[in-house]
Chain A
Amino acid sequence: MKNIYRILFFCSGLLLGSCTDLEENLIGEIDRPVSIDEPSTDFDGGGNGGNDALSVAYSKLRDGSAGSDNYWAIQSVSSDEMAVTQKGGDWYDGGIWIDMHRHTFGPSNGPINNTWTTQYGSIAACNDLLQTNLDANQTAQIKVLRAFFYYRLLDLYGRVKIVTAPGQDAPQSTRAQVFAFVENELLTALGVPSVSASMDLTNSPLTTEVNPYRVNQYAALGILAKLYLNAEVYTGTPRYTEAADAASYVIDNSGYILCGVGCSVPNPGKRPAVDSDPDNLEGYAAVFAPNNQNNPEIIWSIAYDGVTGGGMNFAHMTLHYSSQFTWNLVSQPWNGYSALEDFYNSYDDSDARKKANFIVGPQFDYNGSAILDYAATDGQLELNYTPEINELEPNASRKGGARLGKFSFRLFGRDNQDNDMPIVRLGELYLIRAEGRARAVNNWSLAEADVNTIRTRAGLGPIPGLNADSFLAERGREMFMEVTRRQDLIRFGKFDDAWWEKTNSDAHKALFPIPQPQIDASNGTLTQNPGY
């Protein structure tokens, strides 16, 4: 009897201390931001973005910037550069890509929502970091980075919330207010009240140190140049002179050079058994190569890496399933994105960029043998990418459309590519300066010198009688896949035009809708853009 009491008291005594203890000790989780005390430096693709306290925010650039279903995709597919066709049972996906091409998208489109959440997730990382103990240079860098994310929101959605502290809601701003915020943040980081040809940046907390993965003065100026170039669209007030001045400052004062003759890297996609594969990638092609991390033209880029910095998936997005065997990729591609025929045809055959930007014609495997597509129903078993595409939907050819080859592929490539994605590069700054100078006084001949610089690098002669249309076409050829085409078409008043299967001419489509899930989650603090 006593023993039993003893047992019971023993049992309950064991528990007495923790009788009502409900503290949650999360041993299997990290419940605070972690710092990287011992950064690893051994990266497979060399795409090392630097390992300082700022990495947490810079790494956010990778999200959606070179993959499907997000920022890159909605910018690119809504333009006349490319499309994602419905191939019978493949790539219909609820019509999201057909809507994107035809400009019939609405607030419930998934990628439009993904883009929004990605930008704000990135902004949150910046806001978190700005709460920590940063020096003046670091603060300036992160504020420029954050301004860059707001520049994207300004460009895509216009009316957004400007959130500058963690967890703090803000009212929805007008597009002009967002523009002013971005401009002010960039000017503050540059230490000047305004941009001019003769400005003095000595007060800028930013440095002039060359590092493609960090913001220096030239990177900030590059973003500012893009902002001013589109200012008329964003606010109604043209700022072309300042765009040209910002670009010109970088061209004139920095050490960056256009990657032309003699600027080359070994070709990581060279098949040993295929003689026609070049041993090296030179000039324009080198700027976007898998090993482009030290390219002298790149001012600021997104550090992608197959192992440590995933997010660039162009090989999978564009290549036919069987093209896996050309590069012997680790996994099977998806056969989604391809260039529009008219866009492909806008290149001259002698344009070095045509070969660099597209994959067309018969395809051969790693050993140089023809690749066969046994699912082909047209009797043509050999895989052959044709520039023409029979239709957008529903039964587009599996082989139709030139493929996106600009960010070229390495042999044995993994699911994520190693190529860095330029945000600011010298080539674009030439074009901004050209356009800015021309538009400021409405004289396109002022653009010719810079345009010819670009054309020379592509192995082309000058364009006689340059005008707005031929400038836009030249800009398109140069900037393919670099998410400027939608902006360019809007700025040149051509976004409402018809192209291929797109007939919609609604002017309000120049702004994307505020995503419906965000309006639903906002408790009435977000309202929809006009027209949706």
Chain B
Amino acid sequence: MKIMRLKGFVLAMALLCLGFAEAQEVTGKVTDDQGPLPGASVIVKGTTNGTQTDFDGNYTLDNVGSDAILVISYIGYLTVEVTVSGQSTIDVVLSEDAQALDEVVVTGYGSQTRKEITSAVTVVDNEDFNQGTVNDAAQLLQGKVAGLSIYNKGGNPNEDAVIRLRGISSVGANSSPLIVIDGVVGASLNNVDPNDIESINVLKDGSAAAIYGTRGSSGVILVTTKKGTPGGVSVDYNGSLAVSSIANHVDVMSADEFATAGGVDLGSRNDWLDLVTINGTTKVNNVSISGGDGNTSYRFSGNFRDSQGILRESGFKQFNTRASASTRTFNDKLKIDFNISFTNRKSEFSYEEALRYALLYNPTAPVYGEDSPFQFDSATFGGYFETLGLFDSYNPLSIVNQNTNTGDRNEFTYSANFNYSILDNWELNALVSQQTNKLTNQDYYRTTSHFRGNATSPNRKGRARLYTENGDFKLFELYSTYKQTIGRIDFSVTGGYSWQQQNQYNYFLEMGDFPNNDIEYINALEWSQDLANAGFISANSNASPDDRIIAFFGRVSATFDNAIFFNASLRREGSTKFGENNRWANFPSVGLGADLNHYLELDNVDLLKVRVGYGVTGALPSANGLSRALYEPAGGNLSSNQRTDANPDLKWEEKAETNFGLEFKMDRLSTTLDIYSRDVSDFILEREVDVTIYPTGRRVENSGKLRSSGFEIAVNYDILRNEALRYNTGIIISRNKTVLKEYLTPQEMRGSLGAPGQNDTDMIRIKEGEEIGQIWGPVFSGEVVDGSQQFVDINGDGQLLTNQNNALDPEGDFKVLGKGTPDFELGWTNQLKYGNWDLNAFFRGAFGHSLINTYRAFYEPRVGSQGSYNFVNTKYADPSITNAKFSSLYVEKADFFKLDNLSLGYTFNLGENKYIKGIRVTASGQNLFTITDYTGSDPEPALQDRGSEPDNGGFTTTAANDPLIPGIDRRNNYFSARTYTLGLNINF
């Protein structure tokens, strides 16, 4: 009943909006040689009147003129045109188009057919997206695009994945690819629900990305959202329910093992990890309504996500809505597209630290103070027990239960695109877009919280923090494209202008000293007794300048003989972030491709294309104001300090990339090979400078040059193509190697292990001429004397120098212990179709990388005086080691191969159902098993390092992650989760 009413309502609305049109109705069925084709497009030629076939391949189209021509198309099939001639039923059989070369692919500021492209571009359509519970649009692509690494270490639902294209593309700010959603450059991936995405194109090499200039250095991801199709109203529902649990964690001792191993026995027996984790459930509901008539189409969607993490009190509730409308007017010459989207996410971050403390907290400690083996002042700690007098040790359950850590984020985006055809071969395009985002984070520590709440303080208990951030991004782009054919050459020329401005401001406030434990957060700031004791209040405010990018760009494309393709582009771009003389830079590209089979005409070969491209892109520093010295009043108005040193000579970081590609297709087999080499020169990094000249001793500089090279192979093969059973398998392999070619100093150490006891222990060497990500340290000989690891005299000079001081000393006994980046990465897709059943299995792996297991480095040694922490207890644990020193013992190979995703789907045969066009159910599992030797929680490569600062309960700083030191598996990583999802899709 409800469904009927909804459909009726929507229909009525649509009719009211668009009015009736008189004409005949045509129905029919679209099939291929194996059965019905759901989702095929049926459009009246020359109009936007059209529809899609339902799950059984049926369609109904109103308002069709009796002499109209129907265009029936489906991706991967040859398009068919049928003249209606008064027929009311038209059935069509489509045949597969092995080449699919005329498929239009969205590229920068325009589109080209697939074969015209001379750069490395990968298209992933929604049917190839990762299945199951996907809350982050980036995860749709994980493992699907050769060369695109997407890692979300651990399963924190509130954390975005790290995206890297072809290794380290940039040391500057934009180390993640540029996101372009429906033509809007610099869009936020957080403001598009994965359910609303139609397809994603990844521009991998410089020749494709150069048209985006400075922001394209790390590749470009073009997202196309789903749009309405003219003809009728279609209502689509997607729902899923998922359960997540811890897939893996670092092994520690049980309470009994701990007591036996000499740990301090406090009398209780607790599994802290069990106490702070839950089986998290995730509910996703998505409804979309789409349709259109005549010259107008529309689509609305609402997405509701309620996701729980495996850590207690963590998760988020998100509402996202998106509306798009498209219309043609002025004799179809002007096409206006309007998009609007809004996302609200209410997050509960909880505290990742609780997971770490759950591993390390004394397993014999009681939860509550009343169970303490000695007199304990429970009231001070809200009833919880605390191991006082121990560094970095907090009752994990108290952390998550007493305190709150929440966020509220709103993102709003609109875009309007006007496309006007001045002539048939000349069009003008104008795009206006604005995005705003507002973020409020609140964390609150009760007066009885030992963790950050100063519970032990006699006169200042509790802590409340407030952070708000407002961002605004404006975009205006104007470009024009002219096409002309001269003889056998098809030309296309594009020229344009781009104006982008980013603004951001934020406020931070921290107070403590609350009158009692019962007041709520919202009262805490007001009643903080810090207000009478000014020195404790911590406040901060920031506003960015108008951070602008302005660019002029142009492109020429030419196709000769429909077989030889040429593309060239130039973008001249300027940014406010540099000093006056270095603002502008040029970013050229050129590409050449040839369809060799056009001339060779090999038997059974559908495509044999070679292409080569060269392009230059750039990167900006993350901070503003680097060309000038900045100051701060310091020490309560006692003084004013110079905070940063100016670098008026700072200039663009540039990436020049050459890409060679080969595409081959025959019968059941298709392959693509890309080989590339690129130089990132003048890379931007904050580094130590001569303090005798620069008072702060640090400055952001153009610091050196990186060269990376690699290849990517994608192979796809139809193993079975029977009518009953279809089996397709695809494999992608990518390899990347990045070498530091030039650096301002010959070598240096970075990436300190941290407290307790291992500060000043840098573990990654950066050296000119060597690969990035060298883990560097002393080698454990296997022998333990008096509780200490014995190290190897690597240079055989008879003396053992293994203190950090000697790390780079030629006499020191240090060597490369592993490499933080993988040698190659693998994705293996399997699609099996049998009747109404379909099965997808996706395996993923990375090989050749190592990780520093920091949990082990700190807590595996049986440190006597730390007998109140639990001990990490992996297969490498040696009970005779009683003190902690970083060495090869804690560096592990982390090769892995995992079943990332397994999903089984069933599509119901509904016959001629009046209300429901299709039902599909799916069951999927994510992260089902992992084959690895790594003893940490997650063997995924650590592509960047966030530093050791937050490891002892400190607050995470906003400092940028360091891409030059991959390989450190830090202690706060959220443990990886295994997720089972049931999904339902209904189409009305």
Q: How far is the CA of A87 from the CA of B864 in the complex (A)?
A: 9
Q: Once the chains are docked, how many angstroms separate the CA of A371 from the CA of B389?
A: 9
Nearest residue in B to A321 (C-beta to C-beta)? B389
**Residue B430 lies at the interface, judged by CB distance under 8 Å to chain A:** yes
From residue B329, how far is it (CB to closest CB) to chain A in Å?
9
Q: Which residue of A lies closest to B806 (CB)?
A: A106
CB of A28 closer than 8 Å to a CB of B = yes
Complex formed: what's the CA distance from A28 to B504 in Å?
Answer: 10
Instruction: Check if A24 sits within 8 Å of B574, measured CB to CB.
Output: no
Flag whether A308 is at the interface (Cβ < 8 A). Answer: yes
In the bound assembly, the distance between CA atoms of A92 and B858 in angstroms comes to: 11
Pick the residue among B389, B576, B696 that contacts A23 (CB under 8 A): B576
Nearest CB in chain B: distance from A399 CB, A: 9
Q: Is the CB of A96 within 8 A of B803?
A: yes
Judged by a CB distance under 8 angstroms, whether B20 is at the interface is no
Q: Which B residue sits closest to A108, measured CB to CB?
A: B805
Chain A residues within 8 Å of B542, by CB? 28
**Residue from A8, A106, A320, A371 having most chain B Cβ neighbours under 10 A:** A106
Whether A496 is near chain B, meaning CB under 8 Å from some CB there, is no
Q: Which residues of A contact B583 (CB under 8 A)?
A: 22
**0/1 interface trace, chain A 295-331, chain B, CB 8 Å (1 if under):** 0000000010111111000000000111011001011
A116 on the B face (CB < 8 A): yes
Chain B contacts for A525, CB-based, 8 A: 690
B545 touches A375 (CB 8 A): no
- List B374-399 residues whose CB lies under 8 Å from chain A: 374, 387-391
B480 CB to closest chain A CB (Å) equals: 11
Contacts of A169 in B (CB 8 A): 690, 692-693
| Docked complex: A95-112 residues within 8 A CB-CB of B | 95-96, 98-99, 104-106, 108-110
Given contacts A27-B545, A40-B636, contact A163 B757 (CB under 8 A): no
Point out the residue from B333, B574, B633, B867 that lies within 8 Å of A36, measured CB to CB: B633
A166 CB → nearest B CB, Å: 8
Instruction: State whether A412 touches B459 (Cβ < 8 A).
Output: yes
Q: A531 at the A/B interface (Cβ < 8 Å)?
A: no
When distances are taken between beta carbons in the complex, the residues of chain B under 8 Å from A128 are: 642, 695
Given contacts A24-B627, A88-B864, A167-B693, contact A328 B458 (CB under 8 A): yes
**A338 CB to nearest B CB, Å:** 14
User: Do residues A87 and B757 form an inter-chain contact, with CB atoms below 8 A?
Assistant: yes
Decide if A348 is an interface residue (CB 8 Å cutoff). Answer: no
Report if A492 contacts B (CB, 8 A): no
Q: Which one of B632, B635, B692, B807 lies within 8 Å of A310 (CB-CB)?
A: B635
Is residue B590 contacting chain A, with contact meaning CB distance below 8 A? no
Q: Are A26 and B624 in contact (CB under 8 A)?
A: yes
Least CB distance, B768 to chain A, in whole angstroms: 12
| B982 proximal to A (CB < 8 A) | no
Interface centre among A109, A120, A168, A334 (most CB of B within 10 A): A120
Shortest C-beta distance, A151 to chain B (Å), equals: 16
Q: Is the CB–CB distance between B389 and A320 below 8 Å?
A: yes
B758 CB contact (under 8 Å) in A15, A94, A98:
A94
Closest chain-B Cβ to A480's Cβ sits at a distance in Å of 26
Partner of A20, one of B420, B534, B550, B804: B550
- The listed residue (A49, A88, A96) touching B884 by CB distance below 8 A is A88
> Is A475's CB within 8 Å of the partner chain B?
no
From B330, B389, B630, B631, name the one whose CB has the most chain A CB atoms within 10 angstroms: B389
* Chain B CB within 8 A of A55 CB: yes
Q: How far is the CA of A215 from the CA of B574 in the complex (A)?
A: 50
Inside 8 A of B787's CB, which chain A residues have their CB? 394-395
Per-residue A-contact encoding for B25-36, CB less than 8 Å = 1, 0 else: 000000000000
* Contacting residues, chain B, for A308 (C-beta < 8 A): 535, 635-638
User: B422 to chain A: closest CB distance in Å?
Assistant: 11
Pairwise interchain contact B374-A366, C-beta atoms closer than 8 A: no
B128-136, B667-675, B759-767 - the one binding chain A? B759-767
Interface string of B500-544 (1 = CB under 8 A from A): 000001000000000000000000000000000011100001111
A56 beta carbon closer than 8 Å to chain B: yes
Q: How far is the CA of A20 from the CA of B576 in the complex (A)?
A: 10
Interface string of B452-478 (1 = CB under 8 A from A): 001011111000000000000000101
* Residue A372 interfacial (CB < 8 Å): yes
B691 touches A (CB below 8 Å): yes
Selected contact of B639 from candidates A23, A55, A87, A307, CB within 8 Å:
A55
A509 within 8 A of B: no
User: Do A94 and B334 form a contact, CB below 8 Å, given A43-B636, A49-B638?
Assistant: no
Q: Which of A24, A33, A383 contacts B631 (CB under 8 A)?
A: A33
Per-residue B-contact encoding for A349-373, CB less than 8 Å = 1, 0 else: 0000000000000000010000111
Q: With the chains together, A56 CA to B760 CA distance in Å?
A: 30
The reply to whether B535 and A375 contact each other, CB–CB distance below 8 Å, is no
Q: Is the CB of A7 within 8 A of B545?
A: no
The answer to whether B690 and A94 have CB atoms under 8 Å apart is: no
Bound form: Cα–Cα A332–B952 in Å? 12
Nearest opposing residue in chain B for A377, CB measure: B864
Known: A22-B583, A55-B639, A374-B387. Is A8-B430 also a contact (CB below 8 A)?
Answer: yes
Residues of chain B contacted by A117 (CB below 8 angstroms) = 688, 691, 697
Determine the distance from Cα of A15 to Cα of B883 in the docked complex, in whole angstroms: 65
A441 close to B (CB within 8 Å): no
Chain B residues near A393 (CB-CB < 8 A): 883
- The answer to the question of B418 belonging to the interface, with a C-beta cut-off of 8 Å to chain A, is yes
Interface string of B791-831 (1 = CB under 8 A from A): 00000000000111111110000000000000000000000
A98 contacts across to B, CB distance below 8 A: 803
Indicate if the CB atoms of A95 and B803 lie closer than 8 Å.
yes
User: Are A412 and B697 neighbours in the complex by a CB distance under 8 Å?
Assistant: no
- Chain A neighbourhood of B418, CB < 8 A: 4, 7-8
Which residues A76-131 have CB closer than 8 A to chain B? 86-96, 98-99, 104-106, 108-110, 116-117, 120-121, 124-125, 128
- Chain A residues whose CB sits within 8 angstroms of the CB of B420 once the complex forms: 4
Q: How far is the CA of A259 from the CA of B624 in the complex (A)?
A: 53
Minimum CB–CB distance for A62 against chain B, Å: 8
The reply on A44 being an interface residue by CB < 8 A is: yes
Q: Is B629 an interface residue (CB 8 A)?
A: yes
Q: Is the CB of A26 within 8 A of B757?
A: no
Stretch at the interface among A238-246, A339-347, A445-453, A516-524: A516-524
A99 vs B812: C-alpha distance in the bound complex, in angstroms? 14
Please give me the residue from chain A that is nearest to B459 by CB atom. Answer: A412
Closest-by-CB residue of B relative to A334 is B391
Chain B min CB distance to A409 (Å): 14
For the complex, is A216 an interface residue (Cβ under 8 Å from B)?
A: no
> Considering the chains assembled together, what is the distance between the CA atoms of A49 and B883 in angstroms?
44
A364 shortest CB reach to chain B, Å: 14
Q: Confirm or deny: A487 has a beta carbon within 8 angstroms of a beta carbon on chain B.
A: no
The CA-CA distance from A247 to B794 in the complex, in Å, is: 54
B577: interface (CB < 8 Å): yes
A residues whose Cβ falls under 8 Å from a Cβ of B? 1, 4, 7-8, 11-12, 15, 18-36, 38-40, 43-44, 49, 51, 55-60, 62, 86-96, 98-99, 104-106, 108-110, 116-117, 120-121, 124-125, 128, 161, 163, 166-170, 303, 305-310, 320-322, 324-325, 328, 330-332, 334-335, 366, 371-377, 383, 393-395, 397-398, 412, 414, 516-518, 520-523, 525
- The 8 lowest CB-CB distance pairs between A and B, nearest first, are A94-B804, A95-B803, A308-B636, A124-B695, A307-B535, A322-B389, A394-B883, A88-B863
Q: A89-B861, A520-B746 are in contact. List 14 more A-B contacts (CB 8 A).
A: A4-B334, A8-B428, A31-B631, A56-B640, A62-B635, A90-B756, A105-B805, A166-B695, A309-B638, A372-B389, A518-B690, A521-B744, A521-B745, A523-B690
Q: Can you pick out 14 interface pairs between chain A and chain B where the beta carbons lie within 8 Å of each other?
A: A11-B432, A28-B624, A31-B625, A34-B640, A55-B638, A59-B635, A90-B391, A94-B804, A108-B809, A163-B692, A321-B390, A330-B460, A374-B387, A374-B390
Could you tell me which B residues sit within 8 Å of A by CB distance? 262, 264, 266, 330, 333-334, 374, 387-391, 418, 420, 428, 430, 432, 454, 456-460, 476, 478, 497, 499, 505, 534-536, 541-546, 548, 550, 574-577, 583, 624-625, 627-642, 688-697, 744-746, 748-749, 756-762, 786-788, 802-809, 858-859, 861, 863-868, 882-886
